[in-house]
Amino acid sequence: MKVMGIESSAHTFGVGIVKSGKVLSNEKSMYKISLSGMIPSNVADFHIEHSNEVISRALESANLSMDELDGICYTKGPGMGPCLQIGQLCAKTIAKELGIPIATVNHSVAHIEIARHYARQKDPIALYVSGGNSQILKLQKKPKNHYYIIGETFDIGVGNMLDNFARAAKFDPAWGSTVAKAAQGGKYVELPYVVKGMDFSFTGLLTRTNSLIGKEPINDLCFSIQETAFAMLCEAAERAMLMTNSKELCVCGGVAQSERLKEMLAEVAREHNAKFGYAPNALNADNGAMIAFVGERMLSKGKGESLSKCDIDQKYRTDLATVY
């Protein structure tokens, strides 16, 4: 099947096309986050403005015309309501126009599944780290095949924490990759470290680090907030691996683009003779190809949705979605 996937849950309007599990194209336009953060209605306007152009680019780079698509899918959630609605509207319009089947995809499951595919892993501990989410998961067969959440953040996602710190430090662009660059050569400043079993918390770390801006060298703060947060994630992921006897570890989501995080997790896996893997960076950032990847599997197993039931769910939890 040739399936188009549309992603619009946050700042990215992404469109990807997948055929038999192979990514044919993966195009996107990204809303630039300002110092005031993301205002959902402004991001939705951005998606409306860019949707046609990104869809055309995805078809062009896959060397396909619209009527050659066999199916379409979009992100049902989790995400920001006004933004999710734009992807939903685009996908439903195309499905109706072409008379092709449509599927609704869980954004978090798509992040994990594309990573599991590229890591060539069967049943890993998955560390899913992005702006809105930070979770440790494992596939569970019953009552349905779904990702069971073993551990997660008590408050905000690690990406959200790094972005918030970047805004407080007045970085431009105000996100994690800028913090990573500024962290080079930094020295360690002691900061709050909160892990409870396989759960963790980032707000205390953020508040303390923000309060030290102007009092400690900024590259020391960048280095220390990153090292502390990533060490917390590594400790929780390591405990999850040991508790479940797992010999596979994968990382996914926007923060999985961090070279430092991957280096630290690889070390954890090495210590336990476990396999470690992840998807290429373009497939870890929010993107349409991962949605198409999961959507193709759903549609090929007849798990599409009728147009009238194609909804969105801003709080669509990872453990509520069946993995096909």
Residue numbers of the site for Fe ion (CB under 5 A)? 130, 286
Q: How far is the CB of 309 from Fe ion (least distance, A)?
A: 24
CA distance 195 to 233: 8
Please give the backbone phi and psi of residue 134, each rounded to the nearest 5 degrees, phi first. Answer: -150, 110
CA distances from 179 to 36, 164, 167, 256, 268 (A): 18, 11, 10, 14, 23
CA distance 158 to 236: 13
| Best CA proximity match to 136, nearest among 154, 155, 115, 153 | 153
Q: DSSP assignment, residue 255?
A: G
CA distance 254 to 269: 20
Radius of gyration of the chain (CA): 19
Taking a C-beta distance cutoff of 8 angstroms, is the pair 182, 218 a contact?
yes
Q: How far is the CB of 263 from Fe ion (least distance, A)?
A: 22
Q: How far is the CB of 189 from Fe ion (least distance, A)?
A: 30
Q: How far is the CB of 106 from Fe ion (least distance, A)?
A: 11
Q: How far is the CB of 134 from Fe ion (least distance, A)?
A: 11
In the block, residue with structure tokens 């978090």: 108
Taking a C-beta distance cutoff of 8 angstroms, is the pair 292, 36 a contact?
no
Taking a C-beta distance cutoff of 8 angstroms, is the pair 307, 15 a contact?
no
Q: How far is the CB of 14 from Fe ion (least distance, A)?
A: 10
